[in-house]
Amino acid sequence: MREISRYSAWSLARKALFGTRWRRAWRAADPRPTYDVVIIGGGGHGLATAYYLAARHGITNVAVLEKGYLGSGNVGRNTTLVRSNYLLPGNTEFFEHSLKLWEGLSHELNYNVMLSQRGQLVLAHGPGQLDVLARKGNTMRLNGIDAELLEREDVQKLVPFLDYSAQSRFPIYGGLYQARAGTVRHDAVAWGYARGADHLGVDLIENCEVTGFLRSGDRVIGVETSRGTIHAGRTAICVAGHSSQMTAKLGWRLPVESHLLQAFVTEPIKPFLDHVISFGAELFYVSQSDRGGMVFGGHIDGFNSYTQRGQLPKVQTVAECAVALIPGMSRLKVLRHWGGIQDMTPDGSPFIGRTPFENLYLNAGWCYQGFKATPATGWCLAHTIAHDQEHPLIRHLSVDRFERGNGHDEYGLGLWNYKQ
Amino acid sequence: MAMTNMVSGSGTISSNAMLRIPCPQCGLRDYSEFRYAGDATKSRPGLESTDPREWHDFVFLFDNPKGAHREYWQHVQGCRQWIVLERDTATNRVGSASLARERGHV
Q: Tell me how many degrees the CA angle A175-A365-A117 measures, rounded to the nearest 5.
A: 35
- Say whether residue B69 is in contact with chain A using an 8 A CB cutoff: yes
Nearest to A407 by CA among A376, A365, A358: A365
The total number of residues shown for chain B amounts to 106
Reported confidence tier of residue A136, pLDDT bands at 50, 70, 90: very high
The answer to whether B71 contacts chain A (CB < 8 Å) is: yes
What is the predicted pLDDT for the residue at B12? 47
* Chain A residues with beta carbon closer than 8 angstroms to that of B62: 244, 253-257
Are both A335 and A379 inside the same structural domain? no
Q: Judge whether residue A355 has pLDDT over 60.
A: yes
Read off the CATH number of the domain in which A353 is found: 3.50.50.60
- Characterize the bridge pairing of strands A294-304 and B94-99: unpaired
What is the mean pLDDT of the segment spanning A335-360?
96
Residue A46 C-alpha, separation from nearest chain B C-alpha, in angstroms = 22
Chain B residue closest to A306 (CA)?
A: B90
Q: Mark whether A173 and A264 lie in a shared domain.
A: yes
Nearest CA in chain A to B60: A255
- For B49-95, write each residue's pLDDT tens digit: 999 999 999 999 999 999 999 999 999 999 999 999 999 999 999 99
Residue A166 confidence (pLDDT) above 80: yes
Average pLDDT over residues A353-380: 97
* C-beta contacts of A55-59 below 8 A and 24+ residues apart: A55/A196, A55/A200, A56/A379, A56/A382, A56/A383, A57/A382, A57/A383, A57/A386, A59/A382, A59/A385, A59/A386
Residue A20 to residue A7: CA distance in whole angstroms: 14
pLDDT (mean) for A308-320: 93
Return the pLDDT at B102.
87
Q: Is A165 helix (H, G, I), strand (E, B) or coil?
A: coil
pLDDT at B5: 36
**For position A2, what pLDDT does the model report?**
52
Q: Is residue A6 part of a domain?
A: no
Boundary (domain end) residue, out of A344, A371, A395:
A344
| CA A5/CA B95 separation, integer angstroms | 55
pLDDT score at A5 = 78
pLDDT for B106 equals 55
Cβ-based neighbour number of residue A68 at 10 Å: 13
DSSP-derived 3-state class of residue A322: helix
pLDDT on residue A414: 82
Distance from CA of B60 to the nearest CA of A (A): 5
| pLDDT at position A401 over 80 | yes
Tell me whether residue A12 is in a domain.
no
Mean pLDDT of A301-324: 94
Are residues A322 and A264 both part of a single domain?
yes
A20 is a domain residue: no
d(CA B104, CA B101) in angstroms, rounded, equals 5
Domain extent at residue A207: 29-80+186-254+347-419
Residues A161 and A263 reside in one and the same domain: yes
A86 to chain B, closest Cα gap in Å: 25
From first CA to last CA, the distance across chain A in angstroms is 52
* pLDDT tens readout for residues A322-331: 999 999 999 9
Q: Are residues A352 and A331 in the same domain?
A: no
Q: A295 and A250: one domain?
A: no
In a domain, A3, yes or no: no
Classify A300 as helix, strand or coil.
Answer: strand
What does the pLDDT read at residue B1? 31
CA angle A365, B34, B96 (to 5 degrees): 90
Asked if residue A132 is part of any domain, the answer here is yes
A256, A304, A311: residue with CB nearest B69: A304
Residues A378 and A401 in one domain: yes
Q: Are residues A199 and A319 in the same domain?
A: no
Closest Cα of chain A to B32: distance in Å? Answer: 7
Domain end call among A319, A344, A369? A344
- Contact assignment for B18 to A313 by CB distance below 8 Å: yes
The total number of structural domains that make up chain A: 2
Q: Are residues A262 and A250 both part of a single domain?
A: no
Residues of A in contact with B74 (CB under 8 A): none
pLDDT at A117 over 70: yes
pLDDT at residue B8 is higher than 90: no
Indicate the pLDDT class of residue A400, thresholds 50, 70 and 90: very high
**Contacting residues of A for B71, CB less than 8 Å apart:** 303-304
Do A248 and A268 fall into the same domain?
no
Least confident of A237-251, A263-277, A302-316, A373-387: A302-316
Q: What is the mean pLDDT of residues A268-283?
A: 96
- Residue A142 clears pLDDT 60, i.e. is over it: yes
Is residue A291 packed enough to be buried (19+ CB in 10 Å), middle (13-18) or exposed (0-12)?
exposed
Domains in chain B, ordered, with CATH?
2-103 (3.30.2270.10)
**What is the pLDDT, as a whole number, of residue A301?**
94
Domain CATH for A161: 3.30.9.10
Alpha-carbon torsion (A304, A305, A311, A316), positive or negative: positive
Residue A231 located in a structural domain: yes
CA distance to A244, A332, A359, B59, per residue, from A325 (Å): 37, 14, 48, 37
A156 part of a folded domain? yes
Residue B15: pLDDT band with limits 50, 70, 90? very low
Contacts of A253 in chain B (CB under 8 A): 57, 61-64
Of the three residues A344, A378, A405, the one that is the final residue of a domain is A344
**Range A214-237 average pLDDT:** 98
- Residue spans of beta strands (DSSP E) within A206-312: 210-216, 219-225, 228-237, 257-266, 276-278, 285-288, 294-304
pLDDT for A418 equals: 86
Judgement on whether residues A238 and A356 belong to the same structural domain of the protein: yes
Give contacts of B86 with chain A, Cβ < 8 Å. Answer: none
| pLDDT surpassing 90 at residue A242 | yes
Summarised one tens digit per residue, pLDDT across range A58-115 is 999 999 999 999 999 999 999 999 999 999 999 999 999 999 999 999 999 999 999 9
Q: Is the pLDDT of residue B2 over 60?
A: no
Distance CA A331, CA A397 (A): 43
Region for A308 from its dihedrals, namely left if φ exceeds 0, alpha if ψ lies in -120 to 50, beta otherwise: left
Judge if A166 and A263 occupy the same domain: yes
In a domain? residue A123: yes
Average pLDDT of chain A? Answer: 96
